């Protein structure tokens, strides 16, 4: 190993050892419960060496040492580890570990802070006994179906309009897309104003939001308004991939615009339709912000002989309310697991359909 | 499409396009008009411009901007800081991870890649409750504040945005010729030099795409920050501030509307500047995702 200077070796081993010491010291202070290290006092304010800072610095130093490690053979492997670590670590801590914890918690009496024991499937049986939750599921499915059809239809018509020859195409595309930039929460409040103050001026009746059925329609309207412009952009891209000579040939053969649409354009953008269908499906399923801001799930309805007060509450909002507002964390978590299972099934179906289509092509 | 169309159909289409654009932009126009009115003018006739003036708009905005429940500049600053930090780290760490995954044909890199892809179907709701409790516990244990802090939130965005970022970047890196790296290695480049000096600069178009996708999501995100920062925490993002503000001024539209106007303005300005890039980025993200 004559290729490496002594300085580098010292730096590498020094950082590795110091890093390990700091990491272990930080952990040790945490485990023993000793708390942060007080180095001394300047006046009355203590000079604190935080155990968190020690831990983080320790890990960083350890990686510096690893990077400087005097080896040619394993340098590539070391770089691979260092490059993968930050993202993988964050990913594991925020997604993978909570996922397994969450699935586990759904079988316990967890209250958001601690659990005392397993309760088996009782959270799952409990949620199906709640009429308000069953209503939420039903409502979400209705919302998803309506949106999938309406958003795609509106978006496709807009895309046809925006690929035809009219003046100011760029402006229209940008204008239709604009609502998609704004977060659902702010949009919800703007539309709340429109429904309760502007629309009532024209209709002269109560606000659409005060009746459960019309409030549901209101959520759909806002959602289409927000999302159709985005889906339109994808359809435009799809339509633009149709080769010009195909369209030219059909025009020469005397195909009418409707014939061109149904016999050429639609079949040729079938993959785009799949993408857009599933995009609207999953995003409608996860809809939370607009639901929260526009109606907050309120609305009375008579369902299965029960009077329930959350007539416009969809699944994502129901999970949130159950756990965070009503403080029933275990139940909320069980609902979330069910939500995950439904979404996973949808995604698997999507992958199947896309793969099948690729094989056919 | 070289057939000459009759002018009536062109005009009809143009009229339809204008009508739809008017409908789509109507809420924004209403928002702007009514932000410059007093409450009585807003409720008596929200559609007309009667009572709307630039002076009143400024008065309303001044009343809102320093409101203790809104604190526009502070929440704007937090939102901007969180978004920018998350985007920079996601682009850097994402590219590093994607490059390693792409250029190593080992079982490990394949497994990691598939875990990333599979994780994209996990909805936030299923991890949010354990995430908050474990962030609280681990933070307390190790002495790093994870909740109610900018760094904790940025860390969470790194985790949640990682999968999509790696997925899009991997797709792009696959198309970068490997011979470039071989040549660099022969010239004595170490792997980290190869990455930072040769590969990373080549990724700029795809980094723009992921930055736009992640940026739109992080800037507008409400649920994750509201769970992590809380409604009354030290740090507020703009969506949280809006939510809190609306909660404290129920139906006072002369306050809520200017606040909403302030909240959407930064995004609209960015859109006007980088309209083409944003629209293209959104399309690419959808088609690949």
Interface test with chain B among A87, A114, A171, A332, by most B beta carbons within 10 Å: A87
Residues of A195-221 as b/e, b for ≥16 C-beta within 10 angstroms? bbbbbbeeeeeebbbebbebbbebbbb
Return the structure tokens found at B223: 């649920």
Q: Tokens 């070796």 appear where?
A: A9
The interface predicted TM-score (ipTM) is: 0.90
Contact check, Cβ <8 Å, A95/B160: yes
How close B139 comes to chain A (CA, Å)? 9
Question: What is the tens place of the pLDDT at every residue in A183-206?
Answer: 889 999 999 999 988 888 887 777
3-state helix, strand and coil shares in percent for chain A, rounded to the nearest 5:
75, 5, 20
CA distance A185 to A279: 20
Averaged pLDDT for residues B139-147: 83
Same-domain check for residues B60 and B161: no
CA distance B108 to B61: 55
Question: What is the tens place of the pLDDT at every residue in B7-37?
Answer: 778 888 899 999 999 999 999 999 999 998 8
Residue A39 burial (10 A CB sphere; 0-12, 13-18, 19+): exposed
- Which of B23, B47, B65 terminates a domain? The answer is B65
> What are the residues facing A48 on neighbouring strands?
A38
Residue B93 sits in a domain whose CATH number is: 1.10.3720.10
Closest CA to A296 of A189, A208, A200, A221: A189
For residue B42, what pLDDT band results from cuts at 50, 70 and 90? confident
pLDDT score recorded for residue B51: 78
CA distance A301 to A268: 44
Q: How high does pLDDT run on average in chain A?
A: 88
Which phi and psi (to 5°) does residue B99 adopt? -65, -45
What is the Cβ-side half-sphere exposure of residue A58, based on CA atoms within 13 angstroms?
A: 19
Residue A28, chain B, CB below 8 Å: the answer is no
Among A36-40, A220-224, A243-247, B4-8, top mean pLDDT goes to A220-224
Same-domain check for residues B150 and B196: yes
- Report angle CA B34, B278, A349 to the nearest 5 degrees: 105
Return the structure tokens found at B137: 């516990």
Contact check, Cβ <8 Å, A172/B47: no
Question: Which residue of A lies nearest to B218 if distances are taken between CA atoms?
Answer: A183
pLDDT score recorded for residue A357: 73
Boundaries of domain holding B54 = 2-65
Question: What is the tens place of the pLDDT at every residue in A131-187?
Answer: 999 999 999 999 999 999 999 999 999 999 998 888 888 899 999 999 999 988 999
* Residue % of chain A over a pLDDT of 90: 46
Interface test with chain A among B101, B138, B159, by most A beta carbons within 10 Å: B159
How close A130 comes to chain B (CA, Å)? 19
Contact check, Cβ <8 Å, B220/A201: no
Closest CA to A63 of A25, A20, A7: A20
* Residue % of chain A over a pLDDT of 70: 98
Distances (CA, A) of A242 to A265, B88, B213, B282: 7, 37, 26, 20
Residue A224, chain B, CB below 8 Å: the answer is no
Question: What is the tens place of the pLDDT at every residue in A2-15?
Answer: 578 888 888 888 88
- Report angle CA A309, A313, A316 to the nearest 5 degrees: 145
Residues contacting A268, CB < 8 A, separation 6+:
A241, A242, A246
Residue B30, chain A, CB below 8 Å: the answer is yes
Residue B231, chain A, CB below 8 Å: the answer is no
pLDDT score recorded for residue B195: 93
Contact map slice: A 89-128 vs B, CB within 8 A = 90-99, 101-103, 105, 112-113
The dihedral over CA atoms of A264, A267, A270, A272, expressed in degrees to the nearest 10, equals 10
- Which of B33, B65, B97 terminates a domain? The answer is B65
- DSSP per residue, A45-105: EEEEE-HHHHHHHHHHHHHHHHHH-S-SSSHHHHHHHHHHHHHHHHHIIIIIHHHHHHHHH
Contact map slice: B 57-96 vs A, CB within 8 A = 89, 93-94, 96
pLDDT score recorded for residue B2: 46
| Residue numbers in B near A93 (CB within 8 A) | 155, 159
pLDDT at B3 over 70: no
CA distance A293 to A182: 13
Contact check, Cβ <8 Å, B1/A113: no
Of A95, A247, A293, the CB nearest to B119: A95
CA distance B241 to B232: 10
SS3 A320: helix
Question: Is A272:A235 a contact under the CB 8 Å cutoff?
Answer: yes
pLDDT score recorded for residue B288: 67
Interface test with chain B among A53, A66, A84, A285, by most B beta carbons within 10 Å: A84
pLDDT score recorded for residue B289: 57
Of A2-16, A78-92, A144-158, A340-354, the one with minimum mean pLDDT is A2-16
pLDDT score recorded for residue A1: 46
Question: What is the tens place of the pLDDT at every residue in B173-206?
Answer: 999 999 999 999 899 888 899 999 999 999 999 9
pLDDT score recorded for residue A361: 55
Return the structure tokens found at B214: 């992640």
pLDDT at B278 over 60: yes
Contact check, Cβ <8 Å, A172/B17: yes
Return the structure tokens found at B227: 């769970």
Contact check, Cβ <8 Å, B27/A99: no
Q: How high does pLDDT run on average in chain B?
A: 89
Question: Is A212:A301 a contact under the CB 8 Å cutoff?
Answer: yes
| Residue numbers in A near B100 (CB within 8 A) | 79-80, 83-84
Question: How many CB atoms sit inside 10 A of residue A246's CB?
Answer: 13
Residue B282, chain A, CB below 8 Å: the answer is yes
Same-domain check for residues B115 and B31: no
Same-domain check for residues B234 and B95: yes
pLDDT score recorded for residue B4: 56
pLDDT score recorded for residue A270: 87
Residues contacting B215, CB < 8 A, separation 6+:
B83, B87
pLDDT score recorded for residue A274: 87
Residue B115, chain A, CB below 8 Å: the answer is yes
Residue A149, chain B, CB below 8 Å: the answer is no
Question: How many CB atoms sit inside 10 A of residue B253's CB?
Answer: 21
Same-domain check for residues B150 and B269: yes
Contact check, Cβ <8 Å, B130/A289: no
Return the structure tokens found at B164: 């999509």
Return the structure tokens found at B16: 């339809």
Question: Which residue of A lies nearest to B227 if distances are taken between CA atoms?
Answer: A324
Helix (H) or strand (E) holding B151: helix B150-173
Contact check, Cβ <8 Å, B143/A52: yes
Same-domain check for residues B205 and B82: yes
CA distance A317 to A287: 8
Same-domain check for residues B132 and B202: yes
pLDDT score recorded for residue B17: 92
Distances (CA, A) of A277 to A5, A253, B163: 61, 32, 22
CA distance B44 to A328: 43
Question: Is A150:A224 a contact under the CB 8 Å cutoff?
Answer: yes
Question: How many CB atoms sit inside 10 A of residue A244's CB?
Answer: 10
Q: Please count the structural domains in chain B.
A: 2
CA A24, distance to chain mean position in Å, is 36
Closest CA to B158 of A238, A91, A1, A282: A91
Contact map slice: A 169-208 vs B, CB within 8 A = 171-186, 189-191, 193-194, 197-198, 201
Return the structure tokens found at A65: 């040492």
CA distance A127 to A329: 12
CA distance A67 to B49: 65
Same-domain check for residues B84 and B117: yes
Of A19-23, B19-23, B49-53, B241-245, the one with minimum mean pLDDT is B49-53
Same-domain check for residues B44 and B147: no
Of A35, A79, A90, the CB nearest to B191: A79
Contact check, Cβ <8 Å, B143/A332: no
Distances (CA, A) of A274 to A60, A324, A348, B164: 45, 36, 13, 19
Residues contacting A100, CB < 8 A, separation 6+:
none
Closest CA to A260 of B1, B223, B118: B1
Question: Is B51:B254 a contact under the CB 8 Å cutoff?
Answer: no
For residue A55, what pLDDT band results from cuts at 50, 70 and 90? confident
pLDDT score recorded for residue A38: 72
pLDDT score recorded for residue A358: 65
Using left for φ > 0, alpha for ψ between -120 and 50, and beta otherwise, residue B191 falls in alpha
How many residues does the structure list for chain A? 361
Contact check, Cβ <8 Å, A340/B100: no
Same-domain check for residues B45 and B116: no
Same-domain check for residues B237 and B279: yes
Question: Which residue of B lies nearest to A99 if distances are taken between CA atoms?
Answer: B127
Among A55-64, A218-227, A347-356, top mean pLDDT goes to A218-227
Question: What is the tens place of the pLDDT at every residue in A19-36?
Answer: 888 888 888 887 877 777
Signed CA dihedral, B74, B79, B84, B89: sign only: positive
How close A222 comes to chain B (CA, Å)? 10
| Residue numbers in B near A180 (CB within 8 A) | 282
- Which of B47, B65, B83 terminates a domain? The answer is B65
Contact check, Cβ <8 Å, B121/A180: no
pLDDT score recorded for residue A120: 87
pLDDT score recorded for residue B16: 92
Distances (CA, A) of B39 to A198, B65, B126, B279: 14, 18, 42, 37
Residue B235 burial (10 A CB sphere; 0-12, 13-18, 19+): buried
For residue A304, what pLDDT band results from cuts at 50, 70 and 90? confident
Question: What is the tens place of the pLDDT at every residue in B75-111?
Answer: 999 999 999 999 999 999 999 999 999 998 889 999 9
Helix (H) or strand (E) holding B147: none
| Residue numbers in A near B144 (CB within 8 A) | 52, 55-56
Question: Is B154:B82 a contact under the CB 8 Å cutoff?
Answer: yes
Return the structure tokens found at A237: 């891209």
For residue B5, what pLDDT band results from cuts at 50, 70 and 90? low
Same-domain check for residues B32 and B90: no
């Amino acid at each position: 190993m004559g290729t490496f200077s002594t300085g580098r070796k010292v730096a590498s081993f020094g950082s590795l050892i110091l890093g390990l010491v700091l990491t272990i010291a930080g952990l040790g202070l945490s485990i023993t419960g000793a708390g942060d290290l007080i180095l001394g006092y300047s006046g009355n304010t203590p000079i604190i060496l935080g155990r968190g800072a020690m831990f983080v610095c320790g890990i960083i130093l350890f990686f510096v040492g690893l990077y400087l490690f005097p080896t040619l053979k394993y340098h590539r492997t070391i770089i691979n580890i260092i490059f993968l670590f930050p993202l993988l670590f964050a990913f594991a801590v925020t997604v993978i570990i909570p996922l397994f914890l969450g699935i586990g918690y759904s079988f316990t009496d967890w209250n958001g802070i601690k659990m005392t024991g397993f309760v088996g499937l009782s959270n799952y049986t409990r949620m199906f006994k709640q009429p308000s939750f069953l209503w939420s599921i039903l409502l979400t499915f209705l919302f998803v179906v309506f949106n999938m059809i309406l958003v795609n239809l509106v978006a496709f018509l807009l895309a046809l309009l925006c690929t035809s020859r009219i003046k100011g195409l760029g402006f229209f595309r940008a204008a239709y897309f604009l609502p998609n930039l704004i977060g659902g929460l702010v949009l919800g409040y703007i539309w709340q104003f429109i429904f309760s103050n502007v629309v009532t001026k024209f209709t002269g009746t109560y606000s659409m939001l005060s009746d459960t059925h019309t409030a549901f329609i209101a959520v759909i309207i806002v959602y289409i308004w927000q999302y159709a412009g985005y889906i339109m952009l994808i359809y435009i891209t799809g339509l633009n991939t149709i080769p010009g000579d195909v369209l030219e040939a059909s025009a020469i053969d005397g195909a009418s615009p409707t014939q061109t649409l149904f016999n050429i354009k639609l079949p040729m953008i079938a993959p785009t339709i799949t993408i857009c269908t599933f995009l609207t499906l999953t995003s409608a399923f996860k809809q939370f912000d607009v639901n929260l801001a526009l109606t907050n799930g309120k609305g009375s309805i008579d369902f299965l002989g029960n009077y329930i007060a959350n007539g416009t509450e969809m699944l994502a909002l129901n999970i949130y309310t159950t756990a965070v507002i009503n403080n029933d964390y275990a139940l909320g978590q069980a609902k979330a697991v069910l939500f995950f299972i439904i979404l996973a099934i949808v995604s698997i179906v999507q992958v199947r359909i896309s793969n099948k289509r690729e094989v056919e092509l | 499409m070289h057939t000459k169309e009759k002018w009536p159909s062109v005009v009809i289409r143009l009229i339809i396009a204008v009508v739809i654009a008017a409908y789509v932009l109507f809420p924004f126009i209403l928002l702007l008009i009514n932000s410059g009115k007093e409450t009585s003018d807003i409720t008596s006739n929200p559609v007309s411009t009667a009572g709307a003036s630039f002076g009143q708009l400024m008065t309303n905005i001044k009343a809102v901007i320093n409101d203790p429940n809104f604190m526009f500049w502070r929440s704007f600053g937090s939102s901007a800081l969180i978004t920018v930090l998350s985007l920079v780290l996601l682009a850097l760490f994402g590219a590093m991870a994607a490059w390693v995954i792409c250029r190593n044909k080992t079982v490990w890199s394949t497994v990691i890649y598939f875990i990333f892809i599979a994780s994209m179907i996990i909805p936030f709701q299923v991890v949010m409750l354990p995430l908050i409790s474990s962030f609280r516990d681990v933070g307390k244990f190790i002495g790093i504040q994870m909740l109610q802090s900018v760094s904790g939130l940025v860390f969470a965005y790194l985790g949640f945005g990682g999968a999509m970022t790696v997925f899009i970047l991997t797709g792009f890196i696959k198309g970068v010729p490997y011979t470039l790296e071989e040549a660099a290695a022969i010239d004595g480049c170490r792997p980290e030099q190869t990455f930072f000096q040769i590969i990373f600069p080549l990724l700029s178009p795809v980094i723009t795409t992921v930055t736009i996708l992640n940026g739109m999501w992080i800037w507008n995100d409400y649920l994750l920050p509201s769970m992590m920062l809380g409604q009354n925490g030290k740090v507020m993002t703009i969506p949280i501030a809006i939510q809190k503000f609306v909660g404290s001024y129920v139906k006072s539209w002369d306050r809520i509307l200017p606040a909403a106007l302030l909240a959407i303005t930064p995004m609209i300005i960015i859109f006007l500047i980088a309209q083409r890039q944003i629209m293209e980025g959104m399309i690419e993200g959808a088609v690949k995702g």
